[in-house]
């Protein structure tokens, strides 16, 4: 479950909550929370849900480091990035992708 503990720590720090306070709110020991954040221990589902609720974190965001994106999700990420570009720049990126893919197929 590499990545989950780091994400929990990041959300906690962004929320400005100490380990002690978060552990208290989730009803676990500070040592246990520290072990989760260091990725020495994996939280139970119940603890994980409590952590997400207290931190206001989205499960997908916390787990994206743990669970690889599917092909559809990769496509959505690329589409989202392309949408921010002008049509002309989109065409340039797509041509570059064609060249990269062609090279990778060799």
- The pLDDT tens digits for 52-76 are 999 999 888 788 777 766 666 767 7
CATH code of the domain in which 45 resides: 1.10.260.40
Same-domain check for residues 49 and 76:
no
Quote the pLDDT of residue 78.
83
What range does the domain containing 9 cover? Answer: 4-63
Residues in the chain, total: 106
Same-domain check for residues 47 and 87:
no
pTM given for the model: 0.63
Same-domain check for residues 90 and 49:
no
> How many domains, in total, are found in the chain?
2
What is the C-alpha separation between 87 and 35, in angstroms, rounded? 48
Same-domain check for residues 10 and 46:
yes
Q: Which residues of the chain have pLDDT under 70?
A: 1, 68-72, 74
Same-domain check for residues 49 and 86:
no
In the chain, the percentage of residues whose pLDDT exceeds 70 is 92
Quote the pLDDT of residue 77.
79
Same-domain check for residues 11 and 31:
yes
């Amino acid at each position: 479950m590499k990545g989950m503990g780091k994400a929990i720590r990041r959300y906690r720090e962004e929320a400005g909550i100490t380990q002690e306070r978060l552990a208290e709110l989730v009803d676990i020991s500070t040592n246990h929370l520290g072990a989760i954040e260091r990725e020495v221990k994996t939280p139970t589902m119940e603890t994980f849900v409590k952590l997400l609720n207290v931190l206001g974190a989205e499960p997908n965001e916390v787990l994206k480091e743990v669970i690889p994106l599917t092909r559809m999700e990769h496509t959505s990420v690329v589409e989202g990035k392309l949408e921010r570009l002008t049509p002309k720049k989109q065409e340039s990126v797509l041509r570059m992708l064609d060249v990269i893919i062609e090279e990778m197929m060799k």
